Structure 1
């Protein structure tokens, strides 16, 4: 007995950014599992539904919301506590998804999981699917997992600013806001920062006032916002535009590239 699981990168949610492989995968799905993260991000579910309606050519699919477990105050945790909290969060998400798969498709069918950007980059879906597969295997159900890549926010950021992610022969480093201040060094080359809820780059202004920043929020969506310039000069504008997006949406997804000059 087996259930097919398609983990599909959907970019920003713009149908124009879907690959042909992604469109074919979406059309093969019976049930889409989407994380219900409560009212603040409810329109993310709507965006997924609108995307599917735009490219799926039949009406046999349906959406099932899986309540997302509480994550907790990550900013207050040290490295060890943060890692432990994430492990527990992933384990509970996996349990809930395994239950949803059993309940909604039984022992046969095709489940779809839509991933913003690309599943390979700072996304927990594949880890959750792997853990859910272990739980279901114990009950005699195998998951056949296929991963379809998508356009990442990093790719969109570079395209919108008409720049590369690295300079000639130089490296590019991808990290998170949580790690940025501890590990930043100009020798890293261009640095892409993701999952930065507090604009940690502000902590680099004093030591690196000439850093250049390419910032983007809601990339690919109608309320897309872009800022480029010297970090020390444009940081207030970035904060203001970020706050405006959050006030209008209730959430904001942004990323940025730091380039030493």
Structure 2
């Protein structure tokens, strides 16, 4: 039966790939990648670089397909995401059926780690539930942007005994709440920091682990505008940006 490796590849540095991921990649016959357009061509480029670097001495196929369009300003966010996942499931099914023979291994190279704000595993389960193409799959963890952010700033994620919350920019609009601890914010397409305590400490990073890495840290009230400026300039320069930040409340 066909087999799929879902491999976490870290945040853009080919050296983030684990030895386990490396061994799986070396046994892969076809690597599947979704093309998100010219603005994000660099994301495909990193995946190609990883394959060219680590799949040595054996032929493999790099299969690209256009990512289905997604409603970025939906009236109902949950419905829009479900529709997008359904379209992706149909696409994955077609790619696997057409480009992977019954006795071959395929791979999806997932930015960061497949367990954290990524849809690949849910979509593969939807493909299996459709019952039209069969395969087994395994999951190989990767370095998350959360880990890369802490390493780049040389900090622990939390104070002693305190919790860490991981959320999205959309959820951050509801505020941080009264609980102690740190908050890691991902998928914030337009960080405005409105309504947040200016005395929060922020550690921000973009393009983590790559030669283009950008870092800013300090009191939120002092560096918020700098982060927005640096972010806007970087996005205009590269055509895309992946960033993340940690918010830490003042010490008791």
- TM normalised by structure 1 equals 0.92
Contact 2:14 2:46 in 1 (8 A): no
Match of 2:138 in 1: 146
Correspondence for 1:197 among 178, 189, 202 = 189
Match of 2:233 in 1: 244
Q: Does 1:210 align with 2:199?
A: yes
Question: Runs of at least 4 residues of structure 1 off by over 3 A?
Answer: none
SS across alignment from 2:135: strand
Contact 1:13 1:51 in 2 (8 A): no
Contact 1:27 1:58 in 2 (8 A): no
Match of 1:169 in 2: 161
Q: CA RMSD in A?
A: 1.3
Give the Å deviation of 1:106: 3.5
Q: In structure 2, what is the Cα distance between the partners aligned to 1:204 and 1:255?
A: 19
Q: In structure 1, what is the Cα distance between the partners aligned to 2:161 and 2:105?
A: 44
Q: In structure 1, what is the Cα distance between the partners aligned to 2:179 and 2:144?
A: 25
Contact 1:173 1:190 in 2 (8 A): yes
Contact 1:177 1:195 in 2 (8 A): yes
Q: Which runs of 5+ in 2 are unaligned?
A: none
Give the Å deviation of 1:204: 3.0
Q: In structure 1, what is the Cα distance between the partners aligned to 2:201 and 2:191?
A: 14
Q: Which runs of 5+ in 1 are unaligned?
A: none
Match of 1:116 in 2: 111
Q: In structure 1, what is the Cα distance between the partners aligned to 2:129 and 2:103?
A: 17
SS across alignment from 1:146: strand
Match of 2:47 in 1: 48
Give the Å deviation of 1:181: 2.1
- TM normalised by structure 2 equals 0.95
Give per-residue Cα distances to partners, 1:174-221, cap 9 Å, x unaligned: 000000021412415100000000104x1134xx12000000000011
SS across alignment from 1:187: coil
**How many corresponding residue pairs?**
250
Match of 2:16 in 1: 17
Q: Within 5 Å, give how 1:2-151 maps onto structure 2.
A: 2-74=1-73, 76-77=74-75, 81-135=76-130, 138-139=131-132, 141-151=133-143
Cα 1:186–1:257 change in 2 (3 A) is farther
Contact 2:180 2:249 in 1 (8 A): no
Contact 2:12 2:208 in 1 (8 A): no
Contact 1:15 1:55 in 2 (8 A): no
Contact 1:173 1:188 in 2 (8 A): no
Give the Å deviation of 1:100: 0.7
SS across alignment from 2:2: strand
Contact 1:119 1:125 in 2 (8 A): yes
Q: In structure 1, what is the Cα distance between the partners aligned to 2:14 and 2:37?
A: 24
SS across alignment from 2:216: strand
